[in-house]
Amino acid sequence: MEKVYEEINVEDLNKKGAVGLPLAGKFNEMVYMDLKLWKEEGKTIWILHMIDMYLRYTQSVFIKRNRTTDVLVAIMKNWAGVLGL
């Protein structure tokens, strides 16, 4: 028993796991975006969800169609227009 105890390094037992690199170092440096399809009573609604990875600030917007122009207009109006680039 003493031999086993001597072979165990206490520092190895208290090691912390690897920590990931930070995703962003300042506001608006990295923004995560996702489109969610919501169906309710025969209606189809798209939800554009935007998250700033530094502050975790979130903004969600309803859009009618999943078209590139609709998504870009929603981003420009609700993220860049309000918070700036």
CA dist., res. 69 & res. 47, Å (int): 15
Total tally of structural domains belonging to the chain: 1
Domain holding 17, by residue range, is 2-83
Average pLDDT of each block of 10 consecutive residues along the chain (85 residues)? 62 70 86 94 94 94 95 96 84
pLDDT on residue 15: 73
So what's the pLDDT on residue 5? 57
Residue 14 confidence (pLDDT): 72
Question: Residue 64: exposed, middle, or buried by beta-carbon count in 10 A (0-12, 13-18, 19+)?
Answer: exposed
Spatial separation of the C-alpha atoms in residues 17 and 44, rounded to whole Å: 44
Element (H, E) at 76: none
